[in-house]
Amino acid sequence: MYRANILVCCGAECTANNAIQVYNTFEEQIKAYKLEKDVKVLKTSECLELCGNNEGVVVIVYPEGAYYVGVKPEDAKEIVSQHIIKGKIVKRLLKKEKEEAEVKSIEETNFFKKQKRVALKNSGLIDPENIDEYIARDGYQALGKVLTEMKPQDVIDLIKESGLRGRGGGGFPTGLKWEFAKKSQSDKKYVCCNADEGDPGAFMDRSVLEGDPHVLLEAMTIAAYSIGSDQGYIYVRAEYPVAVKRLNIAIEQSRKYGLLGKNILNTGFNFDIDIRLGAGAFVCGEETALMTSIEGKRGEPRPRPPFPAVKGLFGKPTILNNVETYANIPPIILFGAKWFSSMGTEKSKGTKVFALGGKIKNTGLVEIPMGTTLKDVIYDIGGGIPDGKKFKAAQTGGPSGGCIPASLIDIKIDYDNLVSIGSMMGSGGLIVMDEDNCMVDIAKFFLEFTVDESCGKCTPCRIGNKRMYEILDKITKGKAKMEDLDKLEELALYIKENSLCGLGQTAPNPILSTLRYFKDEYIAHIKEKRCPAGVCKQLLRYTILEDKCIGCTRCARNCPTNAISGEVKKPHFIDQEKCIKCGVCMKECKFQAIERK
Amino acid sequence: MINLKINNIPVQAEEGTTILEAARSAGIRIPTLCYLKEINAIGACRICVVEVKGARSLVASCVYPVSEGMEVFTNTEKVQNSRKMTLELILSDHNKDCLSCIRNNKCELQKLSGEYDCKSSKFIGATNNHLPDNSTDYLIRDNSKCILCRRCVAACTKRQEVSVIGANDRGFDTHIGSAFDMELKNVPCVACGQCITVCPTGALTEKDETYKVERAIADGTKHVVVGVAPSVRVGLGEEFGYSIGSNVEGEMITALRMLGFDMVFDVNFTADLTIMEEGHEFLDRLNNGGKLPMITSCSPGWVKYIEHYYPQYLDHLSSCKSPMSMYGAVSKTYYAEKFGLDPKSIYTVAVMPCTAKKFERTRTELSGGGLPDIDAVLTVRELARLIKRKGIMLNNLAKGEFDAPMGIASSAGLIFGATGGVMEAALRTLAEVVDKKELEHLDFNEVRGVKGIKEATYNLGGTDVKVAVASGLNNAKVLMEKIKNGEADYHFIEIMCCPGGCVNGGGMPVQSADVLNNMDIRAERAKAIYSADSQTKIRKSHENPAIKEIYKEYFEKPNSHKAHNILHTTYTKREKYTK
């Protein structure tokens, strides 16, 4: 037992901020004070966020839970000499919220207060490369319980009762999915994990994979037991090298402990897991495409039915769940269906992890009980919109989702509510937008992603999305006509209705939802050739205010296209034909004589 | 049985039936583009969408199975608008050079666009400006006309299991091609042309040789002869409105004469010659411990296949040239000599149901005295084009007859056109040569029919001879794997590259998926061949008087030294990927 634990965040951002050197300094210091037996220094990986723009590393010191941010190597010395040795918390390094007084413990921050960590319960708190730390936090207890006290059907009944729904996008009841696979008769069945997280900005799964890989192995083994499978595959994107490395270590360790492989926990149950790397295609997150890819073929979806539970990987019954879904399984087994279903709304139980991003103060992963309002997420957890700007909309569900306008900020976030307003849960991206965001531009951004990631198999997605993109492009350049808007809507509805897989069927959502709530912006682009948010470059117009211009020639000298002319000491003039709207003149002008509209 | 309603009509269907099939049985046609029975049910084009009561979205009827109580609507406004939109989107990235397209009036996309009153200019946007792959001597792929239905890919990978084409890139850039976009000439394509015959548009076509032939005919210094393969006569009619399985031999001969060929020969004659050579080669192998099983070598797609994929077994191949190359070789030797013609002035044209024959023509070993055996190969489709271009009304022509001597043939040569035909023709001759008495029954029904692999055992002079017949390279592969694993106790194997044999060759008329999905055109065309065979007087190669004459006057006997020089050939191991 250690008297103190120092957790050094080695997530991507912190690593870039010299986390390894901070970690090494702590180690050296602890050694110097001969405290190796009393104080443990840990590298954690899961990004706890709240580090926000600090040029340094996040460090948490337990038992106090002191949340230090912006820690540099020299600060590490101070933390050891003051906090560890003298018991004096280094206040200047503590995380501050809203100019208030410093807060002490991580749980006390507003950021964490309204969260409920189930899927992320270990992430950031344990050493993911050490199975003992996972076991110390009740790891593999659920598996033990399942294998020794429960029949496969009991497990399925429990999951069904808990009300757990798939966290990957569709929200299909997990227990039901397992039951279908259990009922399918076959000599071979597979358990797959979708770790091909690809929504722009989303990294919930990476967090679990890197921070708590054993939970995945434990849950998949439980799933295998309940459906009668002996082989599992984790399909993880190759762009997550740390996740892959840690998964491999975890698999190795659990095999050694008899928790994976032949005769698990001496119960006679066999199950093993292999890793398959995705090659960077977003569509491989679609279940049938993912399985086609595991089979070694070009990752393209195939029609359903037959559903994977009947005919999946290699033509055998297969269940496929995403990482976050699996992360909920062991807690449900241990604490019961009632505990789980006590969180959330009527049809959406438990918690959901969101990747909070965009125009918001606290960015990062948040895990909230279903039914939390969007307002709570944005203002209480997220700390509101920076720079005093106005909240305009939130985008959920990534490229498959839609935009929620400010008027619906009181919506309780759950599967069905989001769908009813034209968005979706998706895998959990949540991007906040303020008045400076152009909604047409946002729709175009997401569609560009889908056009890029379409596999090209079915006509609506392959050609339809391209044509929609071209129309959006025209709109943002002020070249569209009103009938293009009708065509856009017609195409969007057609693609939704006719595409082969989920990628195509949901691709028009960003357009449909912005058309629903922000049609006026589209019309402004088309009719007035104006971008209300001032984003669409081609619609901007830089002009020189004659009364303010003193003719200093600074703008003309700096214009890269020689678009500005005028005599010295006389008001200058911008040739709109030559102007490329780069904004250099506005930046250079000392007299606020240049206006952008 | 499952009960459902389609357009309010009660329909019964077996479990596992798709909506498309169930509708068809109720007399309702649902249009398709990518669907091809047995090999391509992928739900990609979305033309066959229908409305199913209670379903979240429209469903693709080609892959959606029926279920009890299901209510399907195949022609609602929503369905029709969706199909129209799908077609208009396809048209927006399609090379709409329809007027001069090889498939004008026979294009499935064009036909559906007409049916659905599509506006080809509804969506104007970026287009994929693919350049055609002209790299081979037999095929042109023009992806600017490709609609990505992937029927060609299915024919190549599932039917032939050659798999040299697939989808490259993704999204809007997706296109069909070989690995790493290598040119077709550098990959182990066998030139079978099955991809062409399943293409709904003009994206795939043979390399045209009609102009070359026209020029040769117009050249007064050339003596232009034409030889026609067995199955050509039972396919050509389809291009002129005859029903599938019509035999237009007589009209075809007249048309060829009207085109200006100096002599109209029948490749059935050299098929008879092949039987004489190959039959005796087999007996020699059987009696003198030669390499067995002996495998036929008439099918150029098959020969290219074994050279690429099983080169270690090339010594199993009969050394006989194909009937086409024998026709060319004999034209420039025996025929030239007999009629006092300069072989250099003879221009040999072959009309073939085949695209691989265009490749075969280019083999340097198939030549004599520095002259290629064959100068030009036309597919049935090319011949039809030529006939139409010259204003010849095939349907109104009197029946003509082939020219002697190389137009005289037995019907054993004719049945080469269907799978099992070479074997049957060989057996008719072998049985009589070995047993030295006349056969009572000439029909070897065990080796007939469209089944992929057929086996039989016949007693030849006291020896049980085990034979096997395979058509389609997927089936050829099964036999080759048997040989590889030492499990093949056959003596004689016939392999045809195309499923069903030459009647279904890559150079035959193209039939739309509507036809292919509902009728076995292989069986229909083969029927016409066997029907003609049963009505012919001379049905055995060795009884063909012209064959007797050619041995008497020229080759002396089968497998003679001279015959070896002119009628036999060699094979080479080919790399799979070059460059």
Q: What is the mean pLDDT of residues B120-146?
A: 95
| Mean pLDDT, residues A244-260 taken together | 97
Q: Cα B205 to the chain's mean position, in Å?
A: 13
The CATH-assigned architecture of domain B91-206 is 2-Layer Sandwich (3.30)
The answer to whether residue B16 neighbours chain A at the CB level (below 8 Å) is no
Site from A449, A451, A462, A472 to mutate, B interface, most B CB atoms within 10 angstroms: A462
Active-site residue identified among B145, B357, B358, B540: B357
Check A500 against B45: CB less than 8 A apart: no
Paired tokens of B529: 């061949």
Tell me what pLDDT residue A500 has. 97
Which is catalytic among the residues B61, B178, B297, B318?
B318
**Residue of higher predicted confidence among A41 and B502:** B502
Say whether pLDDT at A51 is over 80. Answer: no
Strands B139-141, B166-168: parallel, antiparallel or unpaired by DSSP? unpaired
Rounded distance between C-alpha atoms, residue B95 and residue B521, angstroms = 30
Structural fold of domain B210-567: Rossmann fold (3.40.50)
**pLDDT at B8 (0 to 100):** 96
Q: Do B173 and A456 touch (CB under 8 A)?
A: yes
Q: In this complex, which of B44, B49, B93 lies closest to A457 when CB atoms are compared?
A: B44
Give me chain A's average pLDDT, please: 92
Secondary element (H or E) of residue B212: helix B210-218
State whether B171 and A498 contact (CB < 8 Å).
no
DSSP characters over A290-355: HHHHHTTS------SSSPTTTS-GGGS-EEEEEHHHHHTHHHHHHHHHHHHHTSB-SSSBSEEEEE
Residues on chain B touching A468 (C-beta within 8 angstroms): none
Amino acid occupying residue A93: L
Contact B125 A466 (CB under 8 A): yes
Band (A11; pLDDT cuts 50, 70, 90): confident
Cα–Cα distance, A230 to A190 (Å, whole number): 7
| Annotation says B360 is catalytic | yes
Say if the Cβ atoms of B171 and A462 lie within 8 Å. Answer: yes
Taken in order B507, B509, B512, B514, is the CA torsion positive or negative?
negative
Alpha-carbon gap, residue B445 to B418, rounded angstroms: 12
Closest-CA distance, A297 to chain B, in angstroms, reads 11
Q: Per-residue pLDDT averaged across B313-334, rounded?
A: 98
End-to-end CA distance of chain B: 56
Residues A147-196: tens digit of each pLDDT: 999 999 999 999 999 999 999 878 999 999 999 999 999 999 999 999 99
Domain A439-527: assigned CATH number: 1.20.1440.230
ipTM, two decimals? 0.94
**From the candidate CATH numbers 3.40.980.10, 3.40.50.11540, 3.40.630.30, 3.30.1550.10, the one assigned to the domain spanning A131-338:** 3.40.50.11540
The residue in chain B having the minimum alpha-carbon distance to the alpha carbon of residue A450 is B171
CATH 3.40.30.10 domain range(s) in chain A: 4-109
Burial class (CB in 10 A: 0-12, 13-18, 19+), A448: middle
- CATH annotation of A541-596: 3.30.70.20
Token digits of residue B219: 């050249």
pLDDT at B475: 98
The CATH number of A4-109, from 3.40.50.720, 3.40.190.100, 3.40.30.10, 1.10.3720.10, is: 3.40.30.10
Class at the top of the CATH hierarchy for domain B2-75: alpha beta
Q: What integer pLDDT is reported at residue A201 of this predicted model?
A: 82
Q: Which amino acid is at A307?
A: F
Summarize pLDDT for A26-35 with one digit per residue, the tens. 999 999 999 9
Distance from CA of B170 to the nearest CA of A (A): 5
Q: Where are the CATH 1.20.1440.230 domain residues in chain A?
A: 439-527
Query: Is the predicted pLDDT of residue A96 greater than 80, yes or no?
Result: no
Tokens of A398: 């990534």
* Residue A53: pLDDT over 60: no
Residue A233 backbone phi and psi in degrees, to 5: -130, 135
Measured between CA atoms, how close is B182 to chain A, in angstroms?
18
Tell me which of B206, B360, B382, B424 is the catalytic residue: B360
Residues of chain A with CATH 3.10.20.600: 351-434
Closest partner residue to A505 (CB to CB) among B57, B78, B125 is B57
Q: Are B571 and B317 in contact (CB under 8 A)?
A: yes
CB contact under 8 A, B125 and A455: no
Instruction: Using alpha carbons, list the distances in angstroms from residue A74 to A8, A36, A71, A96, B89.
Output: 14, 20, 8, 20, 63
- The answer to whether residue B85 neighbours chain A at the CB level (below 8 Å) is yes
Which positions ≥6 away from A226 have C-beta within 8 Å? Answer: A146, A152, A153, A155, A156, A159, A178, A182
Q: What is the rounded average pLDDT of the residues A372-385?
A: 94
Structure tokens at B405: 């001597």
Q: Write down the pLDDT at residue A532.
A: 93
Mean pLDDT taken over chain B: 97
- Do A590 and A580 touch, CB atoms closer than 8 A? no
pLDDT at A48: 63
**What is the arithmetic mean of pLDDT over B71-96?**
97
B310 and chain A: CB distance < 8 Å anywhere? no
Distance of alpha carbon B376 from alpha carbon B225, whole angstroms: 10
- Given a contact cutoff of 8 angstroms between Cβ atoms, the answer to whether A575 and A563 are in contact is yes
Crossing angle for the helix pair B267-287 and B323-330, nearest 10 degrees? 110
Give chain A's contact residues with B (Cβ, < 8 Å). Answer: 281, 283, 298, 300, 302-303, 305, 451-460, 462-467, 470, 487, 490-491, 494, 496-500, 505
Q: What is the pTM of this model?
A: 0.91
- pLDDT-based confidence at residue B519 (cuts at 50, 70, 90): very high
Per-residue CA distances from A285 to A198, A282, A321, B416, B423 (Å): 7, 6, 11, 51, 52
Alpha-carbon distance A474 to nearest alpha carbon in chain B (angstroms): 11
Among B206, B239, B278, B494, the one annotated catalytic: B278
Considering only the beta carbons, identify the residue of A302, A458, A490 that sits closest to B46.
A458
What mean pLDDT is predicted for residues A18-24? 90
* Rounded-to-10 torsion of CA B179, B180, B186, B189: 20
Q: Which residues of A touch B79 (CB under 8 A)?
A: none
Question: How many other CB atoms are there within 10 angstroms of residue A31's CB atom?
Answer: 11
**In chain B, domain spans:** 2-75, 91-206, 210-567
pLDDT for the residue A596 = 85
Q: What is the dihedral of CA B282, B285, B286, B288, to 10 degrees?
A: 150
Active site residue B318: yes
Report chain B residues whose CB lies below 8 A from the CB of A463: 89-90, 92-93, 123, 172
Residue B502 catalytic?
yes
Residues of chain B with Cβ-Cβ distance to A466 below 8 Å are 125-126, 171-172
Residue carrying the six token digits 């009629």? B339
Mean pLDDT of the B489-501 span: 97
Look at residue B58 in the predicted model and tell me its pLDDT.
97
Is the confidence at residue A98, as pLDDT, over 80?
no
User: Could you write out the DSSP letters of every residue in B270-338?
Assistant: HHHHHHHHHHHHHHHHHHTT--SSEE----HHHHHHHHHH-GGGGGGB--BPPHHHHHHHHIIIIIHHH
- Class in CATH terms, A351-434: alpha beta
pLDDT reported for residue A97:
63
- How confident is the model over B472-480, as a mean pLDDT? 98
Classify A581 as helix, strand or coil: coil
Q: What is each CA distance from A11 to A15, A208, B555, in whole angstroms?
A: 6, 12, 85
Task: Report how far residue B421's alpha carbon sits from residue B502's, in angstroms, rounded to the nearest whole number.
Answer: 10
Q: What is the pLDDT of residues A469-503, one digit of tens each?
A: 999 999 999 999 999 999 999 999 999 999 999 99
CA distance A58 to A112: 15
Cβ contact, residue pair B174, A464, below 8 Å: no
Nearest-by-Cβ selection for A456 from B60, B86, B172: B172
Does the beta carbon of B65 lie under 8 angstroms from any beta carbon of chain A? yes
Tell me which residue has tokens 């073929």. Answer: A297
| Helix and strand totals (H; E) in chain A | 26, 18
Question: Quick check: is B534 catalytic?
Answer: no
Q: What is the pLDDT of residue A68?
A: 87
